[in-house]
Chain A
Amino acid sequence: MTASRDAILKRVNDALAPLKERAPYPEFADDVAVMPALDRNGDLWAAFCERAKLVHGTPLSGKPAVLADWLHGQNLHHGYCDPELLPLFGEALAAAGCAVETIFDRARVDEYQFGITRAEAAIAETGSLVLTDATTSSRLAALAPWTHVAVLKRGQIFADVADALKKMPADPNVIWCTGPSRTADVEGILIEGVHGPGVQVAFLLE
């Protein structure tokens, strides 16, 4: 094993040794790839909503009852809820006729119509949700049900990708979800909901 390591590093060294000079690391501004059209001083949630809709994301905001009514309206009545969110959402969900579990049982993966977990952050520029191990109570619950709701608060929204990269949380699993899961493998026709959620909700709790 170490022999292969040393062999590869030696080959790399030998390959590079004859170079008289090496390409320098180019200097560039942090925001070099940020789209100039982005309004970074305005309402970040409004900007996020606009972008999220472009990628077929579903932004919602309000009190817990707003989410519960929305789920009811979508005919979704059974799902998973992060145990830490239950004190906030439990009552409203029950009132809307939604039964939730706080442990995701992988043996019954097809039974969950929705999963409610917390988001670490969001990115206005791209309409992306940022999920981490620290904030997601179950990776599978945020992924396997057709509808995933990521709950976030104002003040958790990054303006752009560059900003989100700069403030990347120290977490082994940081995921940016930009709209629902999708494929265009069959004749280039866009289909949403392949392995992950077919509906990706960003819920701003007010």
Chain B
Amino acid sequence: MHQPIDQYAAKLSADKRASVYDGTKSGYDARLRSLNTSYPAPDHLRLLAGRIKQHTIENLDTYLPQVEARLRTNGVKVHWAVDGGEACAHVHRIMEARGAKKMVKAKTMVSEEIHLADYLEKRGMECLETDLGEFIIQIDHDHPSHIVKPIIHKNRREIATSFEKNGLGSYNDDPEVITARARQFLRHKYLAADVGLSGANFVSAESGRIVLVTNEGNSRFSIAATKVHIALVGIEKIVPRDRDLGVFLNLLARSATGQQLTSYTEFIGGARSANQPDGPEEMHVIFVDNGRARVLADDCRAILRCIRCSACLNVCPVYRQASGHAYRAVYPGPVGAVLSPLLAGDEFPEMADLPKASSLCGACNEVCPVNIPIPDLLLRLRDRGKREHSKVAAADTPPMGAFGTLANHPSLWKAAMKTGGLSALYPTFLMPSYGKAWVRTRGMPKWRGGKFRAWMKNRKQQASK
């Protein structure tokens, strides 16, 4: 049995690999340029942000009730969802209560996580993606493969083809034309929709403000044109005070796209003002657990600091080769390799190969704006996969039993080391099948072991002279 990610990467077309490589590389370069030209010591900010977030998640028992109280004071209706099913049911119920049939939604990872669009469509509701990338994913019946750039795996020709197929004009692969057509089509959808749904990048416990960042302005349009605003919020999204946002907004935009600030930063404290003609009459916040409290109980809880900037995806040599779909879950890349198995709950063993999809080079930790020690967390999860005897985690791992016997018997070990030099002469046709597969693409290494005992012995003799 082989590792699923290796298999996926091996079958990936050259076109897709080039798209992913170019997209991640440009994201990485932009981040570096932006951070280093803005600050003499950007690392200091990163460490500080990590400490604020770690403090927050370790005090969620205080901050969650606090933010709930603030939201209620602001006139926001607060709901709680233990899992995805309950979160979807809340959305459905809110829509039904208003007699609403049409929703426009901004990009939110939680809604992907809980399969909201499928849930609503099965119940006769329209649920339209408004972020350009997510919209293209939706008309293609595809899945996002990157957190910030959902269609990093697609080129303009594919997009033009699906626009043509979906009645959005004749074939034209000019990005300017593609964007203009989406603009024209979607603005009428906003105006016809009843409900606007968003996620939240941050929620301030101090003011109860939901903070949303987008470049396209799609969340702003959904919240200007519809009568109901629903925000789906993972319980880990809180920051203690408004002033903390100065640190996070600066780091998020730079780490995600290399911008100083994202084009639109929205601070939403409730429904529209009385004198405002546009915007929602009511606002709902749904706090979603869906496995997060379980992650909080785990010693990998630092992953809950993540602010979904994708810097770790962009820098990861495995992500670049394999693409996001290889991770078989909503969250790809290094963050996904930690988060997806943890969020999977009882299905952890089925996702336990993901922590092995890493070279442990440490680049993900180095670029992380909240300093998550991703390589350490991956090692902990590899260990857990082994302890729980996960079959997918064991794939492509050579059997270590024989090595264990060898290493536990000094005389055997000594003999093996002495004769090891002969290994290069071993007839490969006598090898077991996995050994044959191994040497088919690699040469036998030159023997370099077995010298230590001799060296040690000589060293003692030298010293006694």
Q: Which residues of A contact B (CB under 8 A)?
A: 1, 4-5, 7-9, 11-16, 19, 22-26, 28, 30, 32-37, 51, 55, 104, 106, 109-110, 125-126, 128, 133-134, 136-140, 143-144, 161-162, 165-166, 168, 171-189, 191, 193-197
Contact = CB atoms under 8 A, between A and B. Distances in A.
Contact of B175 (A1, A33, A138, A191): A191
A168 B287 CA distance: 25
Interface residues of B, number: 98
Contact of B265 (A4, A11, A36, A178): A178
Nearest to A142: B224
Contacts, number: 258
B293 A191 contact: no
B48 A4 contact: no
B416 interface: no
20 contacts: A7-B82, A12-B61, A13-B61, A14-B293, A15-B294, A25-B55, A30-B243, A37-B38, A165-B242, A165-B246, A174-B266, A176-B267, A183-B215, A185-B151, A186-B175, A186-B178, A187-B23, A194-B218, A195-B183, A195-B190
A4 B297 CA distance: 18
B257 A184 contact: yes
B48 A15 contact: no
A191 B278 contact: no
Nearest to B90: A1
A161 B261 contact: yes
B297 A134 contact: no
B269 to A, nearest CB: 4
A12 B133 CA distance: 35
Chain B interface mostly helix, strand, loop or mixed? helix
Contact of B250 (A33, A174, A183): A33
The 4 closest A-B pairs by CB, nearest first: A196-B217, A11-B293, A15-B297, A139-B224
Interface string B40-80: 10000100100110110011110011000000001000011
A185 B156 CA distance: 10
A143 B243 contact: no
A134 B221 CA distance: 18
Contacts of B150: 185
B179 interface: yes
Q: Which of A13, A173, A177 has the most CB of B within 10 A?
A: A173
Contacts of B410: none
A16 B261 contact: no
Interface in B201-218: 207, 209, 215-218
